[in-house]
Structure 1
Amino acid sequence: MPVYEYRVRDRSGKSMKSQMEAESLAQVRDALRAKNLLILEIKAPKTGLSADVKIPGLGDRPPNLKQVAVFSKQLATLINAGVPLVQSLAILQRQIESKAFQGIIKGMRADVEAGTPLSEALLKHPKVFNRLYINLVKAGETSGTLDSILERIAAFQEKELALRGKLKSALTYPVVVLVFAIGITYFLLTTIVPQFAGILEQLNAPLPMITKILMAVSDFLKNSGLLIFVFVGVVVALYRWYYKRPSGRVVIDRIKLRLPVFGNLLQKSAISSFARTFGLLISSGVNIIESLEITKGTANNAIVEETIENAKNVVMVGDPMSASLATSKVFPPMVVSMVSIGEETGSLDTMLGKVGDFYDREVDEAVDSLTAAIEPLMIVFLGGIVGVIVAGMFLPMFSIIGQLSQ
């Protein structure tokens, strides 16, 4: 008989964790409710219908955002067409190609068949369905508008995918060119430069300063390759360690927002994500405090998270959120003004939607401008490196040819 782990709270408010053998999740839930315990969480057993499927070579890697968005849209379409939820999940289970996702949907279908709400079935797969997704589904179940909520989720995820794609395209080009430049420079300094250096030493040619520097760098790279590799590894490890600390994350995320060009792009994308996430939650019937808490968890930047937390604290004492956002350097005055108008007119979700649309366009323009500006800069950068190396090697040769011609 499978073993279920659960976490409950008794009448005095004390939280407890334990295990129970049962034939189904519904049996565990009924047994706990019979004891007048408030159920906080029930974890499915590691094997069986409720467990995530593991693929050899891939482990338990969850489906990506695109797969979840397609699932949401298809589930919304089926429910809107009048197909029962259990049957809809069964249809999607057969249709989805990913074996891992099939296993997840299979477990969800088994839980729903046992009487578990869909939102509770989603709780068992936090790597696939985040807190935002689960709360929206719960709001849809409560209001009886699950199909429209799922359509909103799918549209939101598609916009999120589009935003990620824009940021990725903006950052990929300079990274690729930089890696290419480093590779070419390393090849020239460790292969071509030593050969020229040997020829120049045999000819006893006078060496200009630039040639001496190149030869010194070449010798260092050839003799200290392992040291460089270790140094880079240590720097990366220190960065990760520092970023995991709360104070370190604040410092690094603040620096990211202040970077030339890239900082502006990251700020605009953060505002767009905030407006779309917060607006979606508000329009779906989630209360404003819970909406801010969930939105904070999706910010992926400590400075933005701190700003949203301050706004939540202000709202909890009855003050307008816009007053808190006005003190932040993350949100421009236009955003603060639109949020303020939304609070005064009771149309906060509409205003947030307009903010999200505006900053989506701003991100598009920023990406286009960045790509147009980086391309010539990278070409000049790469050409400058190659030019310095060529000049350093051929200047002594020109000097030798000049002496021979005299």
Structure 2
Amino acid sequence: MPWFKYTAYEKSGKKVESSIEADNMPTAQKELKESKQLLVSSITPLQGAGAQSKGLFGGSRNVAIRDLEYLTSELNLLLESAVMFDQAVELLAKAKRNTGIGEVLSQISLKLKSGSTISAAFGSFSTLFDSLYVNLLKIGEESGTLGPVFKGLSRDLKFRNDLRQTIIQATTYPVIIFAVCMLSVVFIFNYIVPKMAVLFADAEQLPIHTQIILGISDWLMAYQVYVGVVLLAGAALIYQNRQNPQLIAWFHQRSRLVPGVRTVVLMSDRIRFCSSMSLLLKAGIAMDTAVSLSAGNSANTEIRRELEGVSESIRKGIHLSEALAATTLFSDLFLSLIEIGEESGEVTQIFSELADRSRNEFTQWVSRVTALLEPLLIITMGLIVGGVVVTMMLSVMSINDVAV
């Protein structure tokens, strides 16, 4: 349901500024008048409310991961400067006005003023602030350690943002090279080959390789529009159903069968899990609860299901390292380190160390793969384009030889 920001007056004349959730504006006005006995002066829709239901890219303006990272870091700085939390939120809301995150902060500020707890105010935006974030806020709120909590969360969000940027940077150049390669092939078969085909119009017998090239060109010119329409329709259908749980589960299951993609999935989810476990255990969360919350932080549904099974195993009395051995997330080396951490009572430090190691491994792996992919794609493009040109030239030479 949408939210509405209102200004009203009590019977005593006291001014009240807050927000209310209702199906529509008349319903909100009726509830304020009848239930809360308020005289409404003004009421307007809250623009930030759309972000609650549409996630990181909802509402009238985008709210990206880096926005959440900056917000968390700035809240940490303000709290370390002895600024009251509600004042810190209000200051940031004013500083970030007319932005997606500013709208969210304005609504959180209104909730805090109406008596809501910090964790409940942030938790109302469940698609922006996940269960890990909200639960840590609740712990920090109850223990009076919000500053360290926001510091840890800002570090975790920075790692997530860096991870995302690393993946984007690693795939951008190969995708561009692949696109150029495909466009070059389309250009050759649409313009170069048809013009050269005129040379073979009177030939009675053509080499098999020439027939293949000409056949591909004819087929592409006849059906490329239909192929393009089918591809666009498929892409649109996938985009429209991108939140479909069955489609997501199918994609996550198949992605783990592709060697390179499998490595990215396992490494990125291992980083998320280890960094989340480090934060939660440092905050004093019980092991089974920490595993359950960290499992929800996983991007892959298959791995999330495995980790949820780990949480159930721990409740039955099975050691953490033994329970994690049943998953595909950790290697034998990492499992042995977790076992050592259990025996020494330093599991929190071990998970922090594993998160750092996993980040370093992932960065090095991405660098190696990128360095290998770039020349391979360039060579592939050269072979495709050069192969077509050489084939056509050989065909011309063979026809000239026959003529002689």
Q: TM-score range by the shorter chain?
A: 0.7 to 0.9
Residue 223 of structure 1 aligns with which residue? 222
Secondary structure of the 1:127 match is coil
Residue 296 of structure 1 aligns with which residue? 295
Cα RMSD, aligned residues only = 3.1
String of CA shifts for 1:157-204, please: whole Å, max 9, x gaps: 111111111122222222222121111101111111111112321x42
Counterpart of 1:309, as a letter, is E
Q: Separation in 1 of the partners of 2:319 and 2:108?
A: 40
Instruction: Report if the CA contact (8 A) 2:65-2:161 is conserved.
Output: yes
Q: Separation in 1 of the partners of 2:321 and 2:301?
A: 19
Residue 149 of structure 1 aligns with which residue? 149
String of CA shifts for 1:285-334, please: whole Å, max 9, x gaps: 33333322222222111231122011011012222122121122332112
Residue 95 of structure 2 aligns with which residue? 95
Normalization by structure 2: what TM-score? 0.82
Normalization by structure 1: what TM-score? 0.82
Q: Separation in 1 of the partners of 2:58 and 2:303?
A: 34
Instruction: Report if the CA contact (8 A) 1:311-1:325 is conserved.
Output: yes
Secondary structure of the 1:355 match is helix
Residue 40 of structure 2 aligns with which residue? none
Number of residue pairs the alignment of both structures matches: 372
Q: CA deviation at 1:266?
A: 2.8
Q: CA deviation at 1:265?
A: 3.2
String of CA shifts for 1:360-387, please: whole Å, max 9, x gaps: 1100110111011111111111011102
Secondary structure of the 2:21 match is strand
- Distance of aligned partners of 1:58 and 1:121 in 2 relative to their CA distance in 1, 3 Å threshold: closer
Instruction: Report if the CA contact (8 A) 2:310-2:324 is conserved.
Output: yes
Q: How does 1:93-172 map to 2 (within 5 A)?
A: 93-96=93-96, 98-172=98-172
- Distance of aligned partners of 1:72 and 1:324 in 2 relative to their CA distance in 1, 3 Å threshold: same
Residue 380 of structure 1 aligns with which residue? 379
Q: Separation in 1 of the partners of 2:239 and 2:93?
A: 38
Query: Which residues of structure 2 form unaligned runs of 5+?
Result: 1-5, 7-18, 24-29, 38-42
Secondary structure of the 2:259 match is coil
Q: Separation in 1 of the partners of 2:47 and 2:69?
A: 23
Q: CA deviation at 1:61?
A: 4.3
Counterpart of 1:21, as a letter, is E
Residue 317 of structure 2 aligns with which residue? 318
Q: Structure 1: which 4+ aligned runs deviate by more than 3 Å?
A: 1-6, 48-54, 57-62, 233-252, 400-404
Instruction: Report if the CA contact (8 A) 2:252-2:301 is conserved.
Output: yes
String of CA shifts for 1:226-245, please: whole Å, max 9, x gaps: 32124434655786799877
Residue 83 of structure 1 aligns with which residue? 83
Counterpart of 1:64, as a letter, is A
Secondary structure of the 1:105 match is helix
**Residue number among 16, 31, 34 corresponding to 1:21 in the alignment:** 31
